[in-house]
Amino acid sequence: MVDALPLLEARGLVKVYPGVRALDGADFTLRAGEVHALMGENGAGKSTLIKALTGALAPDAGEVRLGGRVIRPRSPVEAQRLGISTVYQEVNLAPNLSLAENLLLGRQPRRLGLIDRRAVRRRAEAIMAGLGVRADVGRPLGSLPIAVQQMAAIGRALDLDARVLVLDEPTSSLDAEETARLFGAVRSLAARGMGVVFITHFIGQVYEVCARVTVMRGGRVVAVRDAGGLPRLELVALMLGVSMEEARAIERAHARAGSSAEVALRARGLRRGRVGPIDLDLRRGGALGLAGLLGSGRTETARMIAGADRHESGRVEIDGRSVPTSPPRRAIAAGVALCPEDRKAEAIVPGLSVRENIALAVQARQGWWRPIGRRAQRNLAERFVRSLRIATPGVEKPAGELSGGNQQKVVLARWLAAEPRVLLLDEPTRGIDVGAKAEIERLVGDLCARGVAVLFISSEVEEVGRVCDRVLVLRDGRAAGELSGEGVTVAAVMRLIAGEGERA
Amino acid sequence: MRDSARAAVRAIGRAAPAAAAVGLLLAFNAAFTPGFFDLAVADGRLAGSLVDVVNRGAVVALLALGMALVIATGGVDLSVGAVMAIAGATAATLVAQHGASPWAAIAGALAVGAAAGAFNGALVAGAGVQPIVATLVLMVAGRGAAQLLTGGQIVTFNDPVLNFIDGGFVAGVPMPVLIAAGALALGLALTRGTALGLFVEATGDNERAARLAGVRVRAVKAAAYVLCGVAASVAGLLAASDIRAADANNAGLYLELDAILAAVLGGTALRGGRFSLVGAVLGALFIQGLTTTLYLHDVSPNATLAVKAGAVLAVCLAVSERVRAWVGRK
Amino acid sequence: MVQRPGRFRFLRALRDLRVHGLLSPQDVPLAATVGVLLALFAACAIAFPGFLSPGVARNLLVGNAALGLVCIGMTFVIISGGIDLSVGAAIGFSSILIASLVQQGWHPMPAFGLALTVGAAGGATMGTLIHRFALPPFLVTLAGMFLYRGGALMVSERSITIRHPLHRTLAEWGSGPVPPAVVMFVVAAGAGFVVARWTRFGRDVYALGGGEESARLMGVRVAGVKVRVYAISGLCAALAGVAMTLATGAGNATAGHLAELDAIAAVVIGGTPLSGGAGSMVGTVAGVLIFGLIQEAMPRAGVTNSWWFRIAVGGLLLGFVLLQRGLEGRRGQ
């Protein structure tokens, strides 16, 4: 196994975007017949690596070899033809066509120039049976369970004679039974000599199905290890970029002034889909950190509290009174504001000016018939541009033209201007430079000092430790434990995230 | 204060294509159309080619005002031509067949326009139907409804108040010009004098972000369709007053397309977001100016359609991001 | 298993129907269309004596052959996720083009050929613009509409009578047992049915309508499919123009007035959602027949006013739009 000729090999891949080195000389090796986990938190570079391997983007430097030959696929379709197929988290098939057609689109068997629908059906049934899935291949794909759709994507890849299969977070919307079935199929594919790259954020699944693990951070590969010889805690430490010694040693730099006992917001039994039930309390002047890996339910929890998604059960109380939080307008009226994780899709209004973006929430609360004058808006915006040090030539600049960090500050300014009593920050420091990050961390401290209750979500455990006086750790949609005061240490948080001490 | 200057430049910038097109047209006429800029006052009434352009352009200008708002929310309203027909039919039948006062007829027409807009708004904002499909319903059925009102006849009327809407003059200025100007002023007051414009732009530019910021996106969308319906009914009153009759078959026929063209030419983003009411009116004036200019040069009205087609394509290409990227690469 | 909210629960309910041999969700719009058609037909047959005659059936087909032809092309366009507003004007253009060519001494056959070529080429050009520059289909085909209509009126504003022995013979067949327009419609519908269902191109059109990005990732040559879809629509419109000249014995620049609207309405009533990715030729033919039935039935029911027809079509359209919206489920929230 040690000297097996690599099936797919990447050497020194570099991809630079303005301001970021998304890939910084990444190497990756996949052997035939192995299931190989690719791990890393947001921004680690794994999706960029996958895109470079599958032709979705061209690397600035470095090369990719398939079976020893250098390849330069210019599109995913070309990569498919070469034998590298990708199954995305969002299934990229046609939901309106039948399962059989999705498996065979463009390669339907024909007779006399016309599609032989019966042969299509037969071949599709054979493919699915080969994966151990029983499904009606005549039904539209979109009406089948997500698990079957994922299997269809895999089946299509197989029928394309794929040698390498990339599974990009295939299990994030599957339940346990569906996941088990998927793993069964993946194992049998590997046994047939296919190389499988498996991207997931569920640590348990790595140990369940993968032989080797490549961990990425900051655009580089930080470790390639056999899964058997890698303890969970160490894997988490590698992903989060803390050395084991540090992890054990770091205690919080200073004890934070304890928050008041007064509860500003109390959530009980919040539940939606996979996530919940979740209970949490946000205290006046305190910052509660929500830690956990991607997909652990952090974002979903914040969104339920803010009414961005309606919770299916449970309640949110503010000052002891149960309040409706959906649509978000109601949560805002009750003093709850959310800076969502996906800044581009859900926060920034790119065509509007910095001034209008900052004034938007305040204006929305006032109603359309009581406009904030242009001068008042400008004063408001300029105040925040100064205090948050937003780098913009002027408040009339379209917000979409600012850098990521400055856009984030504009969104923060929007909510600070609304003077909320509870502020939910979902990954506020993601994808922004170090300076801006420190400023945002400091800002949270200032807000707490002014009596705002803050919920702070971040993938960086150290950051959570720096900013928050209490930390709630989530795992697989449930609370895994809560830490407070001196108990908030990186090591303790990581232990909860990794789920060590429970079943390994 | 340099900032406010910059804001002003941006606001004008949106209307720039329309302004440039109008400018080109004026330059062409200055060079090749003798007497185009002549203004005469006959019987205390302003007359001349320029006045004519504005006068005839008023109908499309009104439609374009409403259309700009709807497009800015990320939608489109295909039913404005049909709504014109309904509004004209309502006013004409109220006066000619039910002996109503002209004021009641005008109020009735406006109410019908608002109701039509509310229907579109309910489908789009309430039921979540794609705007093209939702407004197609009224585009198809609307003319039938108008004919139902008129009994399939061309209902003529002769009422001094209704006649005055299109044919009258105030201080020498034709009424359509005043009505269009008034509608523009009202539109500006409604959108820029309140926060409605901001909400419309936020909704069209990033609906999810607007919702999370607390904007009532559904109400904003519905309001845009209602305003568009009311503007269309005013346009319908003008068209009916022009011929002193309600012609359910031909009133406003294909004008929805002119309105969309005017709005887009006037700098309203087709995917929603920023809009410019001044630009929409300029766009309408350009379309009418083009027609009048071609007419003055004895080009057949049919060729005008072909020129219009060219204008639509030119506008499409000018606002296409892909074309910009393509040109930028060269 | 975890119960997924909303849409799946609904689809599961429908699946249960199918398991019991009743319905599958993608068939619901088509079933509704066919149901409406059959109900209408039954109602007419009961209410109006003599409705079940070959003459009525003939009228139904002859009167709607041109619309039907346009609808076949439009079905492809709409399934692909686009829309074509130029078809009505394209009918007028091909109609007047043929008449004027014959007037200048052309034989009708090459005149037909040229008209069909122009139709297909015009459609292909629009498709290319739409794809190459990512332009909204309804604006590009709107430009096409202005261009065709203006061009047609420039050829001649007056109707031109076609005087040619062959054309006269063909036109006379129109009142015989095998009207050429109906033959064209039936053949085109059959061809459309086969192409949509049994060719790779046809399935690619559905895939494209299901999502352009996914289709591209699945290896569909998006550019080629789009161009061909609009070319087919243009070709069908030109065919409808030919049918019009046969029916009237003349070319008319204003022929096909509002036909784009009727065609879109008939296709949607035929169960093809404007959002693309679904629909069928059978449904479209049913939609056209519903159109025709309403037209036939109204005078018999004593409704001589044409406006009730438009209102009825609008009402049907609303019903189908809401039905389709209901089937999609509540997206997003």
**A contacts of C194 (beta carbons < 8 Å):** 114
Please compute the mean of the pLDDT values over residues A191-203 and round it to a whole number.
86
Calpha distance C95→C90 (Å, rounded):
8
* Residues C93, C96, C101, C105, Cα dihedral to 10°: 170
A396 DSSP β-pair partners: none
Residue A398 φ/ψ, nearest 5 degrees = -60, 130
User: B10 in contact with A at a CB cutoff of 8 Å?
Assistant: yes
Q: What interface predicted TM-score (ipTM) does this complex get? A: 0.86
Contact A291, A455 (CB under 8 A): no
> Would you state the structure tokens that stand for residue B77, as one six-digit string?
């309203």
**B contacts of C157 (beta carbons < 8 Å):** 302
Domain residue spans of chain C: 54-322
pLDDT at B291 over 60: yes
**A contacts of B273 (beta carbons < 8 Å):** 351-352
Calpha distance A63→A26 (Å, rounded):
10
pLDDT at A387: 85
pLDDT band of C229, cuts 50, 70, 90: very high
Dihedral angle sign, alpha carbons of residues A27, A28, A31, A36: positive
Token pair 């003459």: residue: C55
pLDDT band of B5, cuts 50, 70, 90: low
* Residues C283, C288, C292, C295, Cα dihedral to 10°: 100
pLDDT at B183: 96
Contact A15, A429 (CB under 8 A): no
CB-CB neighbours of A157 under 10 Å:
23
pLDDT at C15: 46
Calpha distance B189→B193 (Å, rounded):
4
**A contacts of C8 (beta carbons < 8 Å):** 145
SS3 A23: strand
Q: Which long-range contacts (CB under 8 A, 24 or more apart) does C293-302 make?
A: C293/C37, C293/C40, C293/C41, C293/C44, C293/C60, C294/C40, C295/C63, C295/C64, C296/C44, C296/C56, C296/C59, C296/C60, C296/C63, C297/C40, C297/C43, C297/C44, C297/C47, C297/C48, C300/C44, C300/C47, C300/C48, C300/C51, C301/C47, C301/C48
DSSP H or E run through A6: strand A6-17
DSSP H or E run through B142: helix B131-150
A349 to B195: CB separation less than 8 angstroms, yes or no: no
pLDDT at C30: 84
CB-CB neighbours of B193 under 10 Å:
14
SS3 C267: helix
Token pair 């006269």: residue: C168
Residue A150 φ/ψ, nearest 5 degrees = -60, -40
The chain C residue lying nearest A147, using CA atoms, is C1
DSSP codes of every residue in A429-483: TTTS-HHHHHHHHHHHHHHHHTT-EEEEE-S-HHHHHHH-SEEEEEETTEEEEEE
Q: Where are the beta strands (DSSP E) in A345-462?
A: 422-426, 453-457
Most confident region among A47-51, A297-301, A421-425, C257-261 by mean pLDDT: A421-425
Mutation target for C interface from B133, B217, B290: give the one with most C CBs within 10 A: B133
C150 to B140: CB separation less than 8 angstroms, yes or no: no
> Would you state the structure tokens that stand for residue B57, as one six-digit string?
């352009």
pLDDT band of B330, cuts 50, 70, 90: very low
> Would you state the structure tokens that stand for residue B134, as one six-digit string?
């939702």
Binding-face residues of C in 266-325 toward B, CB within 8 A: 268, 274-275, 305-315, 317-318, 321-322, 325
The conformation of residue A312, written as its DSSP 8-state character, comes to S
Contact C93, C237 (CB under 8 A): no
Between A334-338, B32-36, B176-180, C173-177, the lowest mean confidence (pLDDT) is in: C173-177
Domain residue spans of chain A: 6-230, 246-335+420-504, 346-419
Contact A478, A298 (CB under 8 A): no
Please compute the mean of the pLDDT values over residues B37-44 and round it to a whole number.
80
pLDDT at A393 over 60: yes
The verdict on whether omega for the bond into residue A350 sits within 30 degrees of 0, i.e. cis, is: no
Please compute the mean of the pLDDT values over residues A64-79 and round it to a whole number.
88
Domain residue spans of chain B: 16-304
**B contacts of A361 (beta carbons < 8 Å):** 213-214
Residue B278 vs residue B15, higher pLDDT = B278
Residue B51 vs residue A503, higher pLDDT = B51
CA-CA distances (angstroms) from residue A200 to A203, A210, C163?
8, 11, 74
Class of domain A246-335+420-504: alpha beta
User: A94 in contact with C at a CB cutoff of 8 Å?
Assistant: yes
Contact A449, A467 (CB under 8 A): no
Mode of pairing for the β-strands spanning A84-87 and A20-31 = unpaired
C218 to A93: CB separation less than 8 angstroms, yes or no: yes
Calpha distance B6→B4 (Å, rounded):
5
Name the CATH code of domain B16-304 (choices 3.30.360, 1.20.140, 1.20.120, 1.10.3470): 1.10.3470
Nearest beta carbon to residue B302 from set C150, C268, C317: C150
Our CA angle for A81, A87, A91, nearest 5°, is 120
**Closest by CA position to C65, among listed C184, C231, C175:** C184
pLDDT at B109: 96
Token pair 């570099």: residue: A14
pLDDT at A254: 36
Calpha distance A96→A87 (Å, rounded):
18
Calpha distance A361→A333 (Å, rounded):
11
Calpha distance B9→A422 (Å, rounded):
39
pLDDT at A502 over 80: no
Q: Count contacts between A and B (CB, < 8 Å).
A: 97
CA-CA distances (angstroms) from residue A353 to B149, B214, B276?
47, 18, 15
pLDDT at A438 over 90: no
pLDDT at B261 over 50: yes
Mode of pairing for the β-strands spanning A84-87 and A164-168 = parallel
DSSP codes of every residue in A244-308: HHHHHH---SSPPPPPPS-EEEEEEEEEETTEEEEEEEEETT-EEEEE--TTSSHHHHHHHHHTS
Residue A160 φ/ψ, nearest 5 degrees = -85, 10
Residue type at B147 in one-letter notation = Q
pLDDT at B182 over 70: yes
Q: Count contacts between A and C (CB, < 8 Å).
A: 89
The chain B residue lying nearest C157, using CA atoms, is B302
**B contacts of A392 (beta carbons < 8 Å):** none
Class of domain C54-322: mainly alpha
C15 to A140: CB separation less than 8 angstroms, yes or no: no
pLDDT at B115: 97
**Closest by CA position to A357, among listed A421, A326, A313, A401:** A401
A220 DSSP β-pair partners: A217
The distance of C2 to chain A (nearest Cα, Å) reads 7
Most confident region among A422-436, B122-136, B210-224, B244-258 by mean pLDDT: B210-224
pLDDT at C5: 43
SS3 A136: coil
pLDDT at A244: 57
pLDDT at B247 over 80: yes
pLDDT tens for residues B124-135? 999 888 898 899
SS3 C240: helix
pLDDT tens for residues B264-276? 888 888 888 889 9
pLDDT band of B61, cuts 50, 70, 90: very high
Name the CATH code of domain A6-230 (choices 3.40.50.300, 3.90.100.10, 3.40.50.10860, 3.30.420.40): 3.40.50.300
How long, in residues, is chain A? 504
**A contacts of C215 (beta carbons < 8 Å):** 94
pLDDT tens for residues C58-84? 888 888 999 999 999 999 999 999 999
Our CA angle for A132, A137, A139, nearest 5°, is 135
Percent of chain B with pLDDT over 90: 49
What's the mean per-residue pLDDT of chain A?
Answer: 84
The distance of A187 to chain C (nearest Cα, Å) reads 22
pLDDT tens for residues A284-293? 888 999 988 7
A290 DSSP β-pair partners: A457, A472
Percent of chain B with pLDDT over 70: 92
pLDDT band of C241, cuts 50, 70, 90: very high
User: C150 in contact with B at a CB cutoff of 8 Å?
Assistant: yes
**C contacts of B132 (beta carbons < 8 Å):** 83, 138, 274
A69 DSSP β-pair partners: A66
Please compute the mean of the pLDDT values over residues B29-51 and round it to a whole number.
82
Contact C93, C241 (CB under 8 A): yes
**Closest by CA position to A53, among listed A241, A214, A226:** A214
